Homo-oligomer: A and B are copies of this chain.
Amino acid sequence: MNTLDATHDPSLTSWVESAQSDGTDFPIQNLPFGVFRRGRGDAEVGVAIGSDVLALTPLVGAGWLGQDAQVHHAVAQGTLNALLELSEAQTRDLRRRISALLSASNGALRDAASQRASCIVPQSDVEMLMPVTVGDYTDFYASVHHATNVGSMFRPDNPLLPNYKFIPVGYHGRASSLVVGGTPVRRPWGQQKADDADAPTFAPCRLFDYEVEVGFYVRGDNDLGSSVNIAEAEGRIFGLSLVNDWSARDLQKWEYQPLGPFLAKSFATSVAPWVVTLDALAPFRVSAFERPAGDPQPLPHLDHAVNRNTGAVDMQVEAWLLTPQMRAAKHEPVRLSRGHFRDMYWTIAQMLTHHASNGCNMRAGDLLASGTVSGPEKGNRGCLLELTWRGSEPVQLPTGEERRFLIDGDELILKGYCESKSHRRIGFGECRGVVVEALPA
């Protein structure tokens, strides 16, 4: 259970001035982890603070991160994987030490000019890298609104299948094609068949879509053959991050039965560079989705029981679009949708517990994603398939353009944040990707 402590105190301020800005994603209450490099240098573990990155490795020698050799080892790697092998207590202690070191009242690093210069780097001067080497990537389907909308297009007679309200439906995704936000994404080729055609053709995808999702990274390991009790599931989740599950809808429609989506997804999946810890999200925990009257209660092994009141995360996720024409006209990106992660039918703990309920070994660094975050209103729909209702209701853009699906040069930008009156805003940064043209024939 994540309880509030001094790191969450909304009155806590940092000597990093940009962290005081109201609109920042990264106040001292956040402290998300990521991996970056300076120039052509090695990958380093860092923490976002305001518009800067705090590099962790240089802090070890001065003893500022404590004396735990496992922690020292973990922050000196080129990915977060070793950090994900630490215990919840170890990463919470690390968070507290970083919070203390960055707090306005602490002069240790603030006043050590040369050390400060080696540790604090503007985010604009670094390149963000894949935060985690993902062993297995699993994608869920946890928004009942998304499942109902998509189901009604792919299976009009049978939109929501009978298992949906009992099982957090998910499928294995492709780990090799995960890329960090900012990586251009190439339009895939694939088989597609028109409804009135006798046979498919092999051609570049025409119905290129994104999906706004929330991913979460697994902490620690359970042995093959063992499961994860729902009460312990959150202890096995390190943090959350934005995920864009790019989708080739024409490929998907033709291929997905009977074994599920495959090449419609595996050409690329973008993950945001910053991972926000569950610890940082403690002030934004809210009741799990309240099931409508008549819906079944979760089976006992998936029932939150003690923490149903804090099972969900009150997080907003947004999709923004910047087209080539908007870029040329110096338009700002336009927001396409805003969804609420608390609207998901299944919680992150339920997804993880379900995944391991057959004895599947979940490993530190595995990535689970929620599926498209959509809500009941049109403005909540987290992909173009739903927003434009399969292209029939195009999105109107300020340049006079319209979009049914993405064209080459379009940049899709995911944003996410938690806000409340009583706490500082916790942001997830951005997860960006530009669509680039398909390879020639």
| Interface flags, A259-302, vs B, CB<8A=1, else 0 | 11111101110000000000000000000000000001001110
Given the contacts A190-B358, A200-B166, A439-B359, A135 and B176 also touching, CB distance less than 8 Å: yes
A152: interface (CB < 8 Å): no
Contact status B299-A191, CB under 8 Å: yes
Q: How many interface residues does chain A have, given as a range?
A: 35 or more
Measured CA separation A360–B188 after assembly (Å): 9
- Neighbouring B residues of A301 by C-beta, 8 Å: 202
Given A161-B258, A225-B439: A175 and B175 interface contact (C-beta under 8 Å): yes
CB atoms of A163 and B257 under 8 A apart: yes
Q: Give Cα A301–Cα B268 distance, bound, in whole angstroms.
A: 21
Contacts of A307 in B (CB 8 A): none
Smallest CB–CB gap between A91 and chain B, Å? 22
Name the contact of A172 in the complex, choosing from B174, B226, B362 (C-beta under 8 A).
B174
- A261, B167: Cα distance in complex, Å: 13
Q: Which of B167, B254, B259, B358 contacts A189 (CB 8 A)?
A: B358
Q: Is the CB of B439 within 8 A of A176?
A: no
B259 in contact with A177 (CB, 8 Å): no
A38 in the interface, Cβ–Cβ < 8 Å? no
B176–A361 contact, CB under 8 A? yes
Chain B residues contacting A193 (CB-CB under 8 Å) are: 162-163, 166
Chain A residues within CB distance 8 Å of chain B: 135-136, 141, 151, 154-155, 161-163, 166-167, 169-177, 179, 186, 188-191, 193, 199-202, 224-227, 248, 251, 254-264, 266-268, 296, 299-301, 354-355, 357-363, 366, 439
22 A-B residue pairings within 8 Å (CB atoms) = A141-B259, A154-B258, A161-B258, A163-B191, A166-B200, A167-B200, A171-B171, A171-B172, A172-B174, A172-B262, A174-B360, A177-B224, A177-B359, A188-B359, A191-B299, A199-B296, A202-B301, A224-B268, A225-B267, A226-B439, A227-B439, A263-B357
**Can you add 17 more A-B contacts, CB < 8 Å, to A163-B200, A171-B262, A177-B224?**
A135-B175, A136-B174, A163-B191, A163-B254, A167-B200, A169-B255, A170-B262, A171-B172, A172-B174, A176-B366, A189-B227, A189-B357, A199-B296, A201-B299, A256-B258, A258-B260, A263-B355
